[in-house]
Amino acid sequence: MIKVKVPATSANMGPGFDSLGIAFDLSNEYEFSEGENGIKFYGFKEEFCNEKNIVYKSMKICFEKYNFKPKGLNIKLIKEDIPISRGLGSSSSCIIAGLLGANYIMNNLLSLEELFRIGVEIEGHPDNIAPALFGGMVVSVMEEENVIYNKIDVKNGINFIALIPNFELSTALSRSALPSKVEFKDAVYNISRVALMISSFSNGSYDLLKYCCKDSIHEKYRSPLIKDYDLVYNKCMELGALGCFLSGAGPTIMAIVNKDDKNIFSNIKNFRKQKYSLGYKKALY
C-alpha cells in the first residue's frame, strides 16, 4: 500500500502560456494497493467510481505500456482539496497520482523522468504536469517527441492568493476561445514579458511583476468567459498586489503579494463578492 500526495498547480502565470507552472500547498491525497480482483474505488463521488476515473485511466495507460496486469486494484481518495475545473490542475493531480500508484504496484519500475513523459503524453502539455510531479516553479517545452524542463529558483519574499469562483470553467471551453493565430506584436509582447518574469522570480525583483504578469495571447480571449474578471483583477492590483494572472485556463484568478504585507489578504478577503470563495495558497519553492 502507498499513499500519494499531489499538489495543486497554476499554469501559464500570465505570459508563460503552456510552458510555465508552479505548485502550491493545496493538495489531493490518494492511497493505492493491489487487490485480489477487480477495481474498487473508495472516497470518490459515485460519478467517478468507474473506468472513466482519470486516476484509474492513467494507471491503466502505464500498465499497458509495460504489459503489466495487476490482479486487482484498490484506489482510495483520502483528501480532495483541489477544486475541479477551476484552473488549479485537478486533472494533472489525478494523472500524477495514478502514475505514481501504478509505478508502486509495478515495484517502482519507472523513474520520475519516465513517469513525467507518460504524464505529458496523457495531458497533452507539460505546464501543469511538471510542477505537480517535481514541485516548485518549472518551465517546460516540447522539443519534437521530447519534453525539456528546468526548475526555477524562486527568491523568498512573496505569497500567492487564489480567488476561486464558485462556478466551473471547462478547459475545453476555455481553450476553444483561443485564436488559431496570434499577431507578431502579441508574440513579441509575451516573449519579452515571460523572460522578464523568470528573471524577476530568480533574483527577487518583484517590483517588476506589475509589468511581466501581463499577457496578450490568451487572457484577453478567456477573461470574457469569467464574470467580473476585470473587477476582481483591478481591485486586487488596487489593494496592493504585485501582479495578477489567470490561473491555467481559469476561472481562478491568482494574485502575487508581498510576503510582508500584513493587510492585503484581509483586504482582498473583505472585498470578495458572494460568488467567490477565497483561498490563501503559499507556493512550494
**Which residues does the annotation place in the binding site for ATP?**
83-93
How many helices (H) and strands (E) the chain has is answered by 10, 10
CA 251, 252, 257, 261 torsion: positive or negative? positive
CB atoms within 10 A of CB 110: 18
Q: Say whether the peptide bond before residue 15 is cis (omega within 30 degrees of 0).
A: no
CA 189 to chain centroid: 24
- Alpha-carbon dihedral 15, 257, 161, 237, rounded to 10 degrees: -70
In the numeric block, the cell 477573461 is attached to 223
DSSP state of 81: -
**Roughly what angle, to the nearest 10 degrees, separates helices 54-65 and 112-123?**
120
Binding-site positions read 83-93
Q: How far apart are the first and last CA of the chain?
A: 28
| Pairing, β 137-143 against β 146-152 | antiparallel
